[in-house]
Amino acid sequence: MRSGLNGECRMAHLFKHGLSATFSLLLFGLAIQPAHALPSYARQTGQDCVACHVGAFGPQLTPFGIRFKLGGYTESDGKAGHVPLSAMIRGSWTHTRKDQAGDAAPHYGPNDNGTLDEASIFLAGKLADKIGAFIQSTYSGVDRVSSLDNVDIRYASPLTVGGKGATVGVSLNNNPGIQDPFNTLPAWGFPYAGSDLAPTPAASPLINGGLGGHVAGLSAYGFWDDSVYAELGAYRTLSTTGLNQIGVPDDAGVLDSPATYWRLGYFSDIGKQNWSVGLFGLNAALRPDRRGGPSNRYNDIGADASYQFLGTRRHVGTVNARYTREHQKRNAAVAALEADKLKGSLNEFQINASYYYNQTWGVTAGHFAINGSNDGTLYDTTGSPDSSGYVLQADWTPFGKEASWGAPWANVRLGLQYTMYDTFDGTRSHAGDNDTSYLFAWTSF
């Protein structure tokens, strides 16, 4: 299970009917709202993609993008006739330093694979006064299945607290952290695109995608004086029927009780540059068997920081860093003889820096490190969860900035990414066999 417990547990029942009802209301709202209430983001705001995104392509957010997300995706230029639909396609070629044992995936060879990574359709924009959405449905070319992907439906309202301006809101979403306004948590972390046909480390904290797509959660948030952010939310498993309906397999387990997510942050926008620091946490008890039995408990807590130099947007630089520590209590794993030790820990650290010239040419360098307590059964290859290495990326974004061809419809990024490992799943001697070259083309419209 995830976090070194050999798989990820899917969640159960609460919000099954609530989520279905919400989507029904949204679809009804689409039928009755005037067209000006339903634009996609760029057409809705009248801004180019560089207004919200570093390098003219997501997901790194500028201050304008942060405030747009906090406001519930509702800011508009006031014009009518916008269409609230967008699409995205990403294709790639993957090469690993050593051929993989067997094949990289069904229908693919052991190396040098080209594929359609994903094709997505989005309902994205203002749905009504103070209500907006980011809803993504994705076809995976590797898995050859379609499913409901990222969901973030918001209600947000401005008000005054203590003589200062504030925004308060609620978010219905399906992945703890995807609603984070700063886009610095694992749901949006670097590398922003990666190969599904290359080896990746087995261990990671639960908050790093362990619940994504399998839960529904509701959180309340507030942003005060354009600087202080706080959020608290709870998540429950979708039912087996609900998961089947959205194309997500139910193959692991269920949350024993609501998982709690919290986030604190401080943001400072000082014109040509901005920075943020924050804390975040996730507490969950995952039961592998829906029918009953013991659960594994996870307590994730972390800190993050971000800095951006925007200047005149001709030379743009960013730095992002994040550290997560996870405490585990492995009752279910020990009972199933899948772990030796009842308690364990896992640590993850990531840092990356980007430079973009004229919102077109970009380079990013990142370092990652995962380490934790040893367990000979849980990590059966070496007894260690440790992995570390570097990610280097160069990319070209010809369309998406001010006055570029086809704006705001045409957005294209071409990139080459190289991942190198100095430790992989506890071993150093053959870690480099997993080094990966990833060439991608990414477009949205």
What are the tens digits of pLDDT across the range 127-170? 889 999 999 999 999 999 999 999 999 999 999 999 999 999 99
pLDDT exceeds cutoff 60 at 123: yes
What is the overall mean pLDDT for the chain? 88
Query: Which pLDDT belongs to residue 246?
Result: 92
Residue 212 Cα distances to 99, 175, 243, 305, angstroms? 30, 4, 12, 23
Provide the number of structural domains found in the chain: 1
CATH number at residue 94: 2.40.160.10
Reply yes or no on whether the pLDDT at 239 is more than 70.
yes
What's the confidence (pLDDT) of residue 84? 77
Average pLDDT for residues 276-292, to the nearest whole number? 94
User: Does residue 4 fall inside a structural domain?
Assistant: no
Asked if residue 1 belongs to a domain, the reply is: no
pLDDT at 343 over 90: yes
In a domain, 3, yes or no: no
* Confidence at residue 4, expressed as pLDDT on a 0 to 100 scale: 40
In a domain, 305, yes or no: yes
For residue 77, how many other CB atoms are within 10 A of its CB? 12
Lowest pLDDT segment from 85-89, 118-122, 236-240: 85-89
Asked if the model's pLDDT at residue 11 lies above 50, the reply is no
User: How is 348-376 classified by DSSP, letter by letter?
Assistant: EEEEEEEEEETTTEEEEEEEEEEEE---T
Q: Confidence band (pLDDT; 50, 70, 90) for 337?
A: very high
**pLDDT at residue number 298:** 97
Q: Could you tell me whether strands 411-423 and 387-399 are parallel, antiparallel, or unpaired per DSSP bridges?
A: antiparallel
The predicted pLDDT at position 89 comes to: 93
The pLDDT value recorded for residue 58 is 77
pLDDT on residue 223 = 98
Least confident of 186-195, 360-369, 416-425: 186-195
**Of the candidates 324, 401, 310, 387, the residue with the CA atom closest to the CA atom of residue 354:** 310
**Residue 183 forms part of a structural domain:** yes
**Residues above pLDDT 90, as percent of the chain:** 72
Domain ranges, residue 399: 16-444
pLDDT at res. 411: 80
Whether residue 268 contacts residue 227, with contact meaning beta carbons closer than 8 Å, is answered with yes
**Residue range 33-73, pLDDT digits in tens:** 332 222 367 777 888 778 888 888 878 999 999 999 999 99
Per residue in 324-334, pLDDT tens? 999 999 999 99
Asked, for residue 82, whether it belongs to a domain, the answer is: yes
* Exposed e or buried b per residue across 94-106, where buried means at least 16 C-beta atoms within 10 angstroms of its C-beta: bbbeeebeeebee
**What band does 104 get if pLDDT is binned at 50, 70 and 90?**
very high
Q: How confident is the model at residue 408 (pLDDT cuts 50, 70, 90)?
A: low
Q: Who wins on pLDDT, 39 or 368?
A: 368
| In-domain check, residue 270 | yes
pLDDT at 172 over 80: yes
Is residue 212 situated within a structural domain?
Answer: yes
Lowest mean pLDDT among 30-39, 92-101, 244-253: 30-39
Least confidently predicted of 37-51, 241-255, 276-290: 37-51
pLDDT at 14 over 50: no
